[in-house]
Amino acid sequence: MRKPAELGTRTRVSGPFTSLNITIPGLVALIASSSALAQESLRAVEVTATLQDQAPALQATTEVAGRLGLSVMETPASVEVISQETMERRGARTFEEALRGGVGITAGGAPGSPSVISTRGFTGGFITYLFDGDRIAVPTMVSRPQDTWNYERIEVLKGPSSVLYGEGAIGAAVNFVTKRPDRNNPGAEAMLSYGSFGTARAGVGLGVNVGEASAFRLDYSHQETDGYVDRNKQRYDNLTMGYTTALTRDLRLDLSMDYARDSALSYQGTPLVPRAYALQPTDIVSDANGRVVDRSIAFRNYNFDDAEMSANSLWTRAKLSWQIAPEWKLRNQLSYYTADRTWRNSESYAFVAPGRIVRDLVGITHDHQILTDRLDLANTSPIGGMKNRFVAGLEYTKTDFSSNRDFSNGSTAANNALSVSEFATFPGSYGVFAAKPALFAGAGNRTVFDARIPTGSVFMEDALSVSDRWTLVGGLRQDYVKLERQNLDLNTGARASFTQRYKPTSARLGVVFAIDPDTSAYAQYSNASAPVGTGNLLLLSAANAAFSLSTGKQLELGLKQSALEGRLDYTLAAYRIELDNVLSRDFSNPTLTVNSGKQSAQGLELAAAWKATRELTLSGNLAWVDAQFDRLIEAGNVSRAGNTPPNVPGTVANLWADYRVPGWPLRIGGGINRTGHAYANNANTVRMNGFTTATAYATWSLQKGEITFRVRNLTDELYAYWSGANSNNQVLIGAPRSFEVSYRAAF
C-alpha cells in the first residue's frame, strides 16, 4: 500500500451547497486518464501489521500537540495517533467508529449533536475538534457524521488545551487530518464495500505531480445506509482537495478545499418502558423507577416520517510559508468556513401507559460563517548553547451565526397531538413535522437569534532543552472575545440584545526527562477555559453570559517507551482535572442560578502495541476514570454531589490482534471492546450497564488489491451506549451483528 502522505499544510472548506455533481464512475475515469502522471502501475496491496500502524507512534510529530514540531515522545502530554492503516484494519467507517478505539474514549451523541466523544470525564462542548489543526466551533454544534476515507489520521491530545486552541478544550482536543498532496508519493487508490442494512461505501483518491515544484490531491467518499434502526436512512458525501507549490526555494503556498454533505432520518433513541408493560424486557439499562428497554421495540424509530437532519459545509484555506533564514520561518493562513444545518424532528420520547409514546417537536436551522487569519513566526536558534524551539503569533477570528429555533410547548394539547402508538409499524403511522402555530405557542418557543463573535488572540510556545535529557515545554495564550447577540421572540414580538467580553488567559508548563533515547517521563500542568453551562459560546444566554467562564486545570504524569528493539511501544498516564465555575443553583435560594459548581476527574490510561512475532501483532488500551460532580445543586435544591456526569463510563478497554498466516496471502484478526457502565442523566437514576462487543476479519491479498470480510458485534450483543435527547427517558441502542465485504487497491 502506498505510504501515507507527508505532513504538510492544507485548506479546508465547508458551505451551503444543495448538490454536488460528482459521480464515482466519473472519478474513476479521471483516475484512469491520469495514470501517465501517476507513473505507477496497478500493484497488489500488501498491508503488514507493522508496529507503526498500531502503536502510539512515539517518534512521529503531530499537529494537535502544538506548533513546535515536537514528536509524541517529546511532548509532555498524552498524544494518540490513529492512522489510516489502523482505521482500515479496525474497520472504522466513520469518525465515531474510529474514535471508539481511542484510549479511554467513548463516542456517540444524539442526532442533535452527532459524533461527539467522552473522555477523561468530560463530553460534548468540553472537547475541541480540529480539522487539519484548525478549530471551527464547539463540536456539539459543528460535528457531523463523516467517512474516514478522506483522512490520513486522527490525532488526540488529552487534557486541557485552551493554550493552543482557545476556549472549550477541557477534556481533549481531536484533530482530523486530511490526506495531502505529496510529490514523493503520487498515485491513486480506490475502495468499495457493501454490508448489512444496505450499507455501501465507495472512495477514490488521486495524487499527481504538477510541473517541477507542485502537487495536487483529490479524495472523494460516499457512504449510504438504511440503518440498523427502522426508517433511518443516512448518506454522507465528502470531497477534499489540496494543492501545494514551491513559489521559490524559500516560499511555499498550500491551498485546499473540503466539502461535506450529510443527511439522515435521525434515530433519537429508544424510550424506557415499565417492566410490567414490556413484551421482552431486558437488563441492559437499570432504572430507579423500574423501567427497562423492551427488546420488541429496541430498534423502532419514533421520529416523524419526514424527519430531517442535514448539513452542507464548505471550508477553504490558503497558507503561505516563508523560510526567512535557516532558523526563522514565517507562516500566514487565511481560511473561510460556511455551513447550513437543518433539524426537523421529534427528539424526546416518553412512554405513557398503556401503550403511547409522547413526543415533542423541534425545528432548528443554522447559518454559520467563520473567517480566520493566523500569523506566526517560528525560531530554532539556541539560547545559551541550549537547543530551543519557539513560536509566537497572532490570530483573528470573526464568527457570524444565526439560528431559527422552534420547540413545541409541552402542553396537554400538544402532547396529545404529537403522541404515537408504541407499536406503530408502518410508514405514515408516525405523522409528519407539523408546523402548526398552536403547538409552538408561548414565550421562547419560536425564536430567531443572531450572534457575532470577533476574537483576537496572542499566543506563544517554547521548548528549551536545558540538557541532553531535560526539556522544558511551555505555552501562553491570551484571548480577547466579544460576544454580541440579538434575540427575537416570534410569539411575543419581544426583542433583546446583549454584549459580553471575556479575556481568558491559558497556560501550560511541562517537563520531559529522557531516561534513555527510547524512554521518557514527563509531567505537565495546564489550564483551560470554557463558557458556562454546556461549553457552547454560540448559544450562551444573556443570563449565563454574565457569569465568568468555567475554568479547568490538570496535572498529568506519564511515561512513554519503545522497548524490545522497537517491537513494543507503550504509554502510561495518570491525571487529575478540576473544573470550577460550573452553573449550579444557590444553596440558600434554589430559584437563583450561580456558578459555584465544581466537577473533577482523575484516572489512569495505558496504551501498548507489541510485535509479538513476525506474523502476530497485538495492541490495546485500558483506561480508568473516577469522575464526579463535587458541587452541583439542581432545581428543587437537590444536590448531585458525588454523582457521575452523563455518558462517562468508569472503564474502557480495547484489545486487537492481527495475524499473517505463513505461506498464505491471508491475514486474520479481530478486536474486543469492554465498556463499563455509564449514566444517562445527572441524577444517575438511569444506568446504561456495561457491555462487551467483538469484531473479526479476514483479508486476502489479490494480484490487484485486497478483499476483506468482516463481522461486527460477533455475539449480537444488545446494549445501550449513549443517552438520548431526553436523558431521563431514552437511550441510544448499539448496532446488532452485521457483515461487510470490502475491496481496496492502490494504483
Task: Give residue-wise pLDDT tens across range 42-72.
Answer: 333 333 434 444 444 688 888 999 999 999 9
Cα 204 to Cα 189, 321, 390, 394, 430: the distances in Å are 6, 29, 39, 37, 38
Q: Quick one: pLDDT at residue 56?
A: 45
Rounded Cα distance, 535 and 529, in Å: 9
Which pLDDT band, with edges at 50, 70 and 90, does 7 fall under? very low
Peptide bond into 354 cis (omega under 30): yes
Give mean pLDDT, residues 31-47: 37
pLDDT at 26 > cutoff 70? no
pTM of the predicted model as reported, rounded to 2 decimal places: 0.90
Residues 80 and 155: beta-carbon distance below 8 Å: yes
The region of weakest confidence among 12-26, 94-108, 257-271, 706-720 is 12-26
Q: Quick one: pLDDT at residue 371?
A: 96
- Spell out the residues 6+ positions from residue 134 whose beta carbon is closer than 8 angstroms to its own: 12, 317, 333, 335, 372
At 604-652, the pLDDT tens digits run 999 999 999 999 999 999 999 999 999 999 988 999 999 999 999 999 9
Which pLDDT band, with edges at 50, 70 and 90, does 111 fall under? confident
CA quadruple 665, 667, 668, 671: dihedral, nearest 10 = -170
pLDDT at 727 > cutoff 70? yes
pLDDT at 124 > cutoff 80? yes
Give mean pLDDT, residues 257-274: 93
Give mean pLDDT, residues 515-535: 93
Which pLDDT band, with edges at 50, 70 and 90, does 114 fall under? confident
Q: Quick one: pLDDT at residue 182?
A: 93
HSE (side-chain half, CA atoms, 13 Å) at 235 = 7
At 374-401, the pLDDT tens digits run 999 999 999 999 999 999 999 999 999 9
Q: Quick one: pLDDT at residue 401?
A: 96
Rounded Cα distance, 318 and 341, in Å: 25
44 φψ region: left (φ > 0), alpha (ψ -120 to 50), beta (else): beta
DSSP state of 77: S
pLDDT at 660 > cutoff 60? yes
How do strand 172-178 and strand 127-131 relate by DSSP bridges?
parallel
CA angle 74, 79, 80 (to 5 degrees): 130
Residue 710 in grid coordinates: 468482516
Q: Quick one: pLDDT at residue 138?
A: 84
In this structure, the number of other CB atoms found within 10 A of the CB of residue 235 comes to: 15
pLDDT at 38 > cutoff 70? no
Q: Quick one: pLDDT at residue 580?
A: 95
Q: Quick one: pLDDT at residue 534?
A: 84
Q: Quick one: pLDDT at residue 37?
A: 35
Give me the chain's average pLDDT, please. 90
Nearest to 654 by CA among 669, 670, 671: 671
